[in-house]
Amino acid sequence: MSATRWRPRAVALDIDGTIVDHAGVLPSSIRKAVARVVDAGVPVILTTGRSWHATRPVFEELELPPGPAVSSNGAVVVRFPPLELQQVTTFDPSDVIDKVLREHPSAALAAEVIGQGYRVTRRFPEGDLHGEIEVVSVDELAGSDVTRIVVRDPNASDGEFIALAERLGLHGVSYFVGWSAWLDIAPAGVNKATALAEVVASLGISAVDVLALGDGRNDIEMLQWAGRGVALGDASPEVAARANHVTGSFEDGGTVEELRRWFD
């Protein structure tokens, strides 16, 4: 695309590693860069693997105007404020849970309770999950439809979880492996791009008009879908290869660099 002729009509931003660091801190430089986008009248759509209750504080810290946000890797779409659940996609997790525990019995499992927290089969490492945490049995977790299942083992590596996902041969669901031994399992065909497509269509905007920034494996579909998909410099090679452009690392201000390219 020609940089002199194209301008974003919407900006989709991943959160962790893109606008906040891995301690959850939002740099003032990014806050100011996002404010310039808002001042230009362009919608900023947070598009994250976080649950909504963990997305909301970032939405509020950025002081975004009322509008949509995509959370849970596309399974939950809200409009805020005030809070309005616009789309919630769920699936029956029983078969997935059975397969995961057969292959990886030591895994901890969690299911999101929208707007509140998580139900877990065992405690996750401190800081992994936010909100109210309720420990339940595996049967209880498998007994009702969910927006996603989180699989976690702090003693494993991301490579081991990539191999786990391949061994599981998951069908009828979508899945995303995180930086660590973290596997998100979502409803079939659901990802950040599918949710964003519906959100921007409701705003009268098409994919080609969207600037999207992200750094994780769960951003790949979004970066491929957007008119301009930009990976942070910290992204793994498989993520960077799917992007139109790779900006600087988070620490070096890559997010600000890309936003200022269009909104200076």
- Per residue in 198-245, pLDDT (tens digit) is 999 999 999 999 999 999 999 999 999 999 999 999 999 999 999 999
Q: What is the pLDDT of residue 2?
A: 47
Q: What is the pLDDT of residue 171?
A: 77
- Domain(s) labelled CATH 3.40.50.1000 in the chain stretch across 10-88+190-262
Specify the CATH superfamily of domain 10-88+190-262: HAD superfamily/HAD-like (3.40.50.1000)
Q: What is the pLDDT of residue 127?
A: 87
Q: What is the pLDDT of residue 72?
A: 96
Torsion sign, CA atoms 101, 107, 108, 114? negative
Tokens of 10: 């919407």
Q: What is the pLDDT of residue 201?
A: 98
Counting as low any pLDDT under 70, the low residues of the chain are 1-4
Q: What is the pLDDT of residue 47?
A: 98
Class of domain 94-187: alpha beta
Q: What is the pLDDT of residue 5?
A: 85
Tokens of 112: 């999101």
Spatial separation of the C-alpha atoms in residues 121 and 22, rounded to whole Å: 25
Residue 36 main-chain phi, psi, to 5 deg: -65, -35
The region that residue 112 occupies, defined by phi over 0 for left and psi between -120 and 50 for alpha, beta otherwise, is: beta
Closest CA to 213 of 16, 36, 7: 16
- Domain(s) labelled CATH 3.30.1240.10 in the chain stretch across 94-187
Beta bridge partners of 239: none
